[in-house]
Structure 1
Amino acid sequence: MNDNSAPLAKPRSDLGIRTASGVVMMLVAAGAIWLGGPIFALFTAAITVGLLFEWTRLVLKLSSGIIGKLVWIFAGLVYIGVATAFLVFLREFAEIYILLGIIGVVIATDTGAYFAGRAFGGPKIAPAISPSKTWSGLCGGMAMAALFLGIEGHFTEGFALWQPLLGAGLAIVAQAGDFFESWMKRRAGVKDSGTLIPGHGGLFDRADGLVAVLCATALLVLFLQITGQW
């Protein structure tokens, strides 16, 4: 019998629930950022605990030795701890547009990569790790992030060439964070880092790029402080 003789049922789309949960996430995060203070601290603490829980869940599956597990867990404490501590620092001790700019760069990267990847397709970056990521998507993400940070810079402190260049660079970091988490999931043999967010998976699935960008930005700020350029 010809396998093509009977039409296959189309998988049910989860676009609606993904959109709804995405809107809820954005509203909760925006509210916490706007209120700041103890509300934002509690929000960040909850996110930190959730990320560490999902990181540990992945580690317990991807590493077999006790020493390996402990090293991975310690690395997660540093990686996620630096990111979330810097998040609080930016909200409480820096201009709020800097924090919004970092979050906006990650969103712009995801958006640009999605639409450019869908429109142009082409060669995959690392199909064994993340089959859907293409070089055209990466370029689209870099272009969108550069455009976003350039526009934000124009309306905040005045446009400078380093702003779009920084946006493009952070887009690469965000994509690297995405690949890193995908690699962890591949090693652990799981599809998502968790099931907390309907249609999206876990917290780490949504924040992998942001965590990487926050860590990279924290290191950049530290470097500029040490060299006296900030």
Structure 2
Amino acid sequence: MAGAEPRLRRLRSVGTDLSVRLASAVVMVLVAGGALWLGGWVWLGLCGLAALGVLWEWNRIVRAFAAGPLAEIAWLFGGACYVGGAALAMAMVRNGALGPDAGAGGYGPLEVLVSFLLPVIAVDVGAYFAGRMIGGPKIAPAISPSKTWAGLGGGAVAASLVAIANEALDIGPGGAMPGVSGSGIALAVFAGMLIAVIAQSGDFFESWMKRRAGVKDSSGLIPGHGGLFDRLDGFIAVFFVLFLVALLPAYLG
């Protein structure tokens, strides 16, 4: 009987943590989904607030490991470019498509969800389950002990399946008839693999920063989930690459 009470307390603690995580996740989905649906200034405002929150967390982490004021300034400038570029791309895909000459309409909420957001979410889900079920060699245990090559493969498969479904159902932009060709499948698989690598690289980058700073989470802004940077690291990496590839040349040219 003496050992039952500690176990009961642990079970209650796990249940409480799970409830907090679930409640936070529901709130995040509702807020992000509502802003995505409304678009316009609402979506722009959410992207801006998220970017400010991530930059605040970025600065907190940097101050814990930057060697001197010049290094800190360089890191802060890099963070502003990295997070700001990703936020701009995220805002533009909904409000103004992928370039200054693409018009003010942007993509619809379903197109943004399926073409830009779901593949990154699929990477996290696929990597989590593949890593848990298969395990195997770690990618970089000194940086992130839980990340495995099997998880990366699972994330790539999951993102590829989303991309194939997007192509087959013609949910995303382009194409006139539902269906997918062999070249379309190959392109979808390549896109899924590329998104998985970029998203996981963003995860590793944030883990490396936190390990240097000696912190577990970027902050405690989201109950049960850590900080905004913890939740958005993969999205930031993917959208920053989108910014470099699609937006930056258009503005510079």
TM-score, shorter chain, exceeding 0.5: yes
**Are the equivalent residues in 1 in contact too, given 2:202–2:237 (CA < 8 A)?**
yes
TM-score, length-scaled by structure 2: 0.82
Say yes or no: does 1:99 pair with 2:99. no
Unaligned runs of 5+ in 2: 98-106
Superposed CA offset, 1:67-106 (max 9, x none): 0000000000000000001111111123235532221111
The correspondence for 1:146, drawn from 157, 160, 163, is 160
Q: What letter matches 1:114 in structure 2?
A: Y
CA pair 225-37 structure 1, distance change in 2 beyond 3 A: closer
Say yes or no: does 1:118 pair with 2:132. yes
Aligned to 2:191: 166
Say yes or no: does 1:175 pair with 2:200. yes
Say yes or no: does 1:185 pair with 2:210. yes
**Are the equivalent residues in 1 in contact too, given 2:156–2:193 (CA < 8 A)?**
yes
Aligned to 2:34: 31
Cα distance, 1:217 vs. partner?
1.9
Aligned to 2:245: 220
The correspondence for 2:230, drawn from 189, 205, 212, is 205
TM-score, length-scaled by structure 1: 0.90
The 2-side partners of 1:123 and 1:89 are apart by 39
The correspondence for 2:79, drawn from 76, 79, 94, is 76
Aligned to 1:63: 66
**Are the equivalent residues in 2 in contact too, given 1:115–1:140 (CA < 8 A)?**
yes
The 2-side partners of 1:199 and 1:175 are apart by 21
Cα distance, 1:222 vs. partner?
4.8
**Pairwise CA RMSD:** 2.0
**Are the equivalent residues in 2 in contact too, given 1:90–1:98 (CA < 8 A)?**
no
Superposed CA offset, 1:8-31 (max 9, x none): 754732222212211211111010
**Are the equivalent residues in 1 in contact too, given 2:89–2:247 (CA < 8 A)?**
no
Unaligned runs of 5+ in 1: 1-5
Percent identity, please. 47
The correspondence for 2:54, drawn from 43, 51, 56, is 51
Q: What letter matches 1:183 in structure 2?
A: W
Three-state SS of the structure 1 residue aligned to 2:127 is helix
Q: How many residues in Structure 1 have an aligned counterpart in Structure 2? A: 221
**Are the equivalent residues in 1 in contact too, given 2:88–2:243 (CA < 8 A)?**
no
